[in-house]
Amino acid sequence: MSILQHRTALIDFIARETGSKVIELEIEGKLGGGAIQENWSLSLVLEGGPHAGKLALVLRTDAATGIAESRSRVQEFALIKAAHDAGMTVPEPLWLDESGTVIGKPFTILRRLSGVAEPRLVLGRLSDLAESGEVEEPGEVLVRHLGQELARLHQVTPAQAPAGLGFLSTAGHDLIRQRVADYRRWLDRLPEAQPVLEWALNWIEDRAPEVERVTLCHRDFRLGNIMIEDSELRGILDFEFAGWSDPDEDLGWFCARCWRFGAYDKEAGGLGSKASLFSGYAEVSGRQPDPRRVRYWEIVAALRWALIALDQGERCLAGGERKIELALTALRAIECEYDLLLEIDDYDAPPKPPRHKHAEGTQGGEN
């Protein structure tokens, strides 16, 4: 059922939440993206109260079917608020209906950001800016900024957690062991056995590094969830997977090959170098990320994305959403399996001798 049928109830809800008079509410339509949620663009004019004036907003609610790992809208609202309070650039969280009585299901309303999130559009624009010389190394600048953003989020620790995050599962030094157990249960729920993912999980379990710190993590920090206008960051979106974790998980997820959108030589999210990302991160956190630990988490990322992709496929094949894009997403798991087999080999290989000077300056060669 569309929210268009609930316009009057929405106006009453906003008036109650703000103590303002709603002069105008326009439901402008459903926004693209968000396979797990529906996002609706709203334009609102309020008279009186703290938000008086014209507001560009997004109403976020659940899609017809979700996936196992995703959080509720209520929980997501608390997570965005925690990130906002920590100084991360996110859409300001405004109002929440957890009762489900206004539009038939819980929803949140956030301030709408300008810019685009679609990865190909972002990469295309950055490439145009770089070619024109309008902005020097726009990808590197952006990646450094993104490193700073992650470091701000990672300042939130369980010891100083806002009260609203009490629903988050605790995580400690056995975090990876717990994660491996979760992923095995996830595999058991899938209709077909996955030998490569089982093999990779054994490796992840055997090579698990010590978890030295646990912080609030986004856990889906990548292009597609980042609003960018030209080369400027406008905000980080989609906190539905956020939780306590090893902060290197966010860095690994961002750098994983599956999230480079074809720009494989730009290891930090298809945008720039790991050096810029790590340098931005260290500026705010005071901690220089360990590249080998990040690589370990890149491997975990490939496994996790494979599981999510297979789950997305099941939404079409066994759930209620008959969409060809969901069925094709399941096939992305094969790319991850291939990555896992090669990345694990690379990780386990002895360190390579340094290159000779005359070999430097070439790109795309065998490493």
Partner 1 sequence: MLDRPDDATLLALALETLQERLLPHLKGEDKLTGLLIARALAIVQSDGSDDHARQQSIAEIARLLDAAPEKSLADAKRHLAAAIRNRRFAAGTPEAVRLRDHLLHDTAARLRLVNLKYMAARQRRAESSV
Helix (H, G, I), strand (E, B) or coil at 243: strand
Residue 94: in which H helix or E strand, if any?
strand 93-97
Nearer to partner 1, 9 or 196 (CB): 196
User: Is residue 17 part of the contact set for partner 1 (CB under 8 A)?
Assistant: no
- Of 108, 194, 215, 285, the residue at the interface with partner 1 (CB under 8 A) is 194
Residues 206-235 that bind partner 1 (CB under 8 A): 206
Which range of residues in 80-88, 89-97, 228-236, 339-347 is near partner 1 by CB under 8 A? 339-347
Nearer to partner 1, 24 or 342 (CB): 342
User: Is residue 121 part of the contact set for partner 1 (CB under 8 A)?
Assistant: no
Ordered DSSP codes for 8-70: HHHHHHHHHHHSSEEEEEEEEEE-S--SSEEEEEEEEEEESSTT-EEEEEEEEEE-SS--TTP
Q: Residue 46 pairs with which residues in a beta bridge? A: 22, 53
Minimum CB separation of residue 353 from partner 1 in Å reads 13
- Of 264, 283, 288, 322, the residue at the interface with partner 1 (CB under 8 A) is 264
Minimum CB separation of residue 367 from partner 1 in Å reads 5
| Gap between the terminal Cα atoms of the chain | 53
Give the residue from 61, 62, 29 showing the smallest Cα distance to 43: 29
- Of 166, 262, 320, 361, the residue at the interface with partner 1 (CB under 8 A) is 262
- Of 31, 199, 229, 279, the residue at the interface with partner 1 (CB under 8 A) is 199
Nearer to partner 1, 123 or 201 (CB): 201
Residues 27-86 that bind partner 1 (CB under 8 A): none
The runs of H, that is alpha helices, within the chain are 7-18, 73-85, 119-132, 138-153, 175-189, 195-206, 247-255, 274-285, 291-317, 324-348
Burial annotation 273-286 (CB, 10 A radius, 16+ → b, else e): bbebbbbbbeebbe
Nearer to partner 1, 6 or 295 (CB): 295
Task: State phi, psi for 128 to the nearest 5 degrees.
Answer: -60, -45
Nearer to partner 1, 220 or 337 (CB): 337
Give the residue from 314, 318, 355 showing the smallest Cα distance to 333: 314
Minimum CB separation of residue 166 from partner 1 in Å reads 34
CA torsion angle for 308, 309, 311, 313 (degrees, to 10)?
170
Nearer to partner 1, 47 or 325 (CB): 325
User: Is residue 337 part of the contact set for partner 1 (CB under 8 A)?
Assistant: yes
Tokens, residue 90: 């996110």
Residues 130-189 that bind partner 1 (CB under 8 A): 184, 187
Cβ neighbours around 154 below 10 Å, total: 26
Q: Residue 95 pairs with which residues in a beta bridge? A: 109
**Would you give the binding string for partner 1 spanning residues 80-119, x where CB under 8 A is met?**
----------------------------------------
Report the interface residues with partner 1, using CB under 8 A.
Answer: 184, 187, 192-196, 198-199, 201-202, 206, 257, 260, 262, 264-265, 267, 274, 291-292, 294-295, 324-325, 327-328, 331, 334-335, 337-339, 341-342, 346, 352, 363-364, 366-367
